[in-house]
Chain A
Amino acid sequence: MADSLPIDPWPRVELRGVSKHFGEGETRVDALVDIDLTVLAGEMIGLRGPSGSGKSTLLNLVACVSEPSAGWMRLDGDVVYDARWLRGDLRRLRLMKIGFIFQTHNLLPFLNATENVAEAMELAGMSSRQARTRADGLLDYLEVGHRRHAYPSEMSGGEAQRVAIARALANGPRIILADEPTAPLDSVRAHVVLDLLGRIARDHEAAVLVVTHDESIFGRFDRLISLRDGRLVATEEIKRPSGVSAPASLPVL
């Protein structure tokens, strides 16, 4: 991480009392219970926990593909899932403000690297030519520009993951979520990807939330949060960014 941060102190992600359960009665499963979490601009947070601890559920909630059962959630200043939010608004929020990096890159197999990145921009309304130019710029930024015409099946795991990161950055997201982005990579490439995410958090003033099991990269986060049985059980400050502090509380918009 950089010594000096940009930095917009406004929390990019703020969860208060968030719970999520599936089913009712005897079949009810509490996937998340009373989660409070704040991620600031420029912060890179690690999220760990055993299988079934609620990591993916938490990621789904922040990615706005699943609705909390209780509590409220604010993303880049907007409280989501209140009565004003329609399905299309959530989709637009995901498109414009949230970048997602999947465990297995999830690039569209029928698009080459440039097209995969440009598609996200075109969905946001950018012209095809602009989108391609910007996509190529992002691929260069992630040092994978030489593979812009390659299809996912022709790329190495590391290259594909960088293209996936470029796609996640396509629309200048304020929040970047990553679901075990280093799982398919060897340790050298895993650290390269973490370096990239750290750089992106700093350069793009984005909040980065990374789900990981990989102990070798725990030291690369600003904070490491542990989940167990749907509860947030520990927060380990690793290298807190200087000059940034989370506000104690923020009004609900």
Chain B
Amino acid sequence: MNLALRDVRRNKLRFALTTLGVGMLLATVLSMTGIYEGALTDALALPRAVGAAIWVVQPRTFGPFAEPSRIPRDTRDLVRRMPGVAAAGAVTFQTVQTTVGSKPVRLYLEGYEPGRPGGPATIVAGHGLTESHYQIVVDASTGLSVGERVPLGPYRDPYTVVGLTHGMVSSSGDPMAWVNLLDAQALQFAVPPPLERREQAAKRTPPTTTDINAVVVRLEPGASASAVERNIVRWKHLAAVPEAQEEGYLTLFVIQKMQQQLGMFMGILITVSAVIIALIIYTLTMDKLRSIATLKFIGAPDRTIIGLIVQQALTLGVAGYAIGLALVMAMKNHFPRRVQLELRDLVIVFVIVIVVCLAGSVLGVRAAVKVDPAEALASG
């Protein structure tokens, strides 16, 4: 007879509430692992969608994502003509803040040249940019829809949403948006007319508005990436960063701190969960001391008593985990940032829960094993 399950069956409501509490705790742990993985996926989504083999950026920078990078626009033509290069596209990146209606919208805006590498990989609604100005493609996570107008720039020029992507956000979690490179350059580099007039009066050259942040390079099949890189860096004002290295910069410099933070938070949560589970199991055991003394009195071996406690702890852990997982699965699309549950992480958390339950039952088992059968004789 499985005493643990019998006890659970008899105290359904109490066990259900306890398990729900543990489940909510584990839901927090699971969502943290999901946010941790989601941050990595978000950070790498853009460079992977661009599909570049090489990023051409300003030398001695970790651009264009980890650090600002600024290079001349003609770099694209320069690189395109190099042997082994199949396509090259000039791109810019910047974060913009605007308001659509009364709703604040923050976008990670990429300027690209339609027909060249760098644009959105997949459009799920509407279409890509078809005109040179005032069109914008945004990610569906903005909540915007095709046809809406997004005011951008110092004069809040209206950009019409012509297409939507799905699941494209920056490493900070801001939804991605794409505009024509010319518009993006104006938004990033153009100076307002009063400042331009002041610069002219001072006989200074106004800042150029034709710079770009990077050039994305795709190679011809069979072309040697290292040979192309060597060709690029012969130009001293350029640096060539292979895709893998660019992803490394993102992981190392942009999201590492956040991941460490999440990791620390997960560690604290798991520790708190362990303490709470141990306390619950200890309390459940304390409530049964008289029954345990009676069982011992009538001749139950220690393994029966230990089995009762450990099985109950595992039941609590497994049921709590299932509830936690169900909660996260139900809620994950409502989180402001991507929650990505990986099978590996789910297995790791499950194993941790089992270990925590086993460790947590140690206190209860110790208390139960110490119980003197004679305590069953105490009245009351």
Contacts and interface: CB of A to CB of B under 8 A. Distances in A.
A102 B376 contact: yes
Interface of A: 56, 59-60, 63, 65-66, 88, 91-92, 94-96, 100, 102-104, 106, 108-111, 115, 118-120, 122-124, 128, 151, 167, 179, 183
A174 to B, nearest CB: 14
Contacts of B296: 91
A66 B376 CA distance: 13
Interface of B: 1, 3, 6-7, 9-11, 290-291, 294-301, 304, 372-374, 376-377, 379-380
With a 10 A CB-CB cut-off, give which of B11, B291, B297, B379 has the most chain A CB atoms: B297
19 contacts: A65-B372, A66-B374, A88-B301, A94-B297, A94-B299, A95-B298, A103-B377, A103-B379, A104-B380, A106-B290, A108-B291, A108-B295, A109-B10, A110-B3, A110-B11, A110-B291, A115-B6, A123-B304, A183-B379
Nearest to B2: A128
Nearest to A66: B374
Given A104-B380, A115-B1, A110 B10 contact: yes
Given A65-B372, A65-B374, A94 B7 contact: no
B380 A110 contact: no
Contacts, number: 72
B299 A92 contact: yes
Query: Per DSSP, are chain B's interface residues mostly helix, strand or loop, or mixed?
Result: helix
Contacts of B9: 110
A65 B298 CA distance: 10
B290 A128 contact: no
A41 B310 CA distance: 41
Nearest to A124: B299
A126 B299 CA distance: 14
Contacts of B3: 108, 110-111, 119
A169 to B, nearest CB: 12
A66 B9 CA distance: 34
A64 B344 CA distance: 52
A94 B298 contact: yes
B379 A100 contact: no
